[in-house]
Each structure stands twice: as structure tokens, then as C-alpha cells.
Amino acid sequence: MPAAAHQHTAPIRDESSLGPTEDLDREPDGVPHDVVGLSALFSVLFAAVVLGMWLSGSSGRVAAVAMCIFGVPMLVSNLRQRSERERDQHHPSR
């Protein structure tokens, strides 16, 4: 390495380089990661249940449509509320 080159340390690894308002524990995108995981999990489970109901017959199809009409908005609303509740308000993402 040339004498003029110096080693760069990323602030995420060096706590002494952090500013007074920076925090290493925050989630950089601002969305709680457990909410992202729960969204994916519930979406797959919801799709599987709706598909099973759809394939079960005509009454299952009516129930599947009703479940989509009411279930999807409820799922989105609940996950949005959880995200707002668990979002880091002291260290918002940039």
C-alpha cells in the first residue's frame, strides 16, 4: 500500500466515528424488519387458504371472494399499524 493511502473505516463498524444523532441499532430503511417478514408470511398463507377455498367448490368460491374483500384490507391495515407502532421515531431513516 502506498504511504499516502490510508485505511477507511466505515462508521457502522467504528462507534467512535458516529455523530451525536446516529444509532447503530436502527433499521436503515425505517420499516421494522419483522413487519416485512410477517407481510411475506401472511401473504403466502392467505393465498394458500384462498386457493384451497376456491378449489373446494361453489360455496368455497363465494367464501374466498368474501375473504379477499374483507381479509386483504384488514391484513394491510393491521400490518401498517404495527409498522407505525414499532418504527424508530428517534432515529428516522434518511
Instruction: Write the pLDDT tens digit of every residue in 53-66.
Output: 999 999 999 999 99
Q: What would the grid cell of residue 64 be? A: 374466498
CB 93 within 8 A of CB 28: yes
Mean pLDDT of the chain: 77
Q: Which residue has the cell 384451497?
A: 52
pTM (predicted TM-score): 0.58
Q: Check residue 54 and give its pLDDT.
A: 93
Give, as one character, the DSSP assignment of residue 11: T
Q: Check residue 32 and give its pLDDT.
A: 74
pLDDT tens digit sequence for 18-35: 666 665 565 656 677 788
Q: Check residue 68 and give its pLDDT.
A: 92
Q: Check residue 15 and give its pLDDT.
A: 66
Instruction: Please enumerate in sequence order all residues whose Cβ is within 8 A of that of 24, keeping only pairs 6 or more positions apart, or say none.
Output: 12, 15, 18
CB 61 within 8 A of CB 54: yes
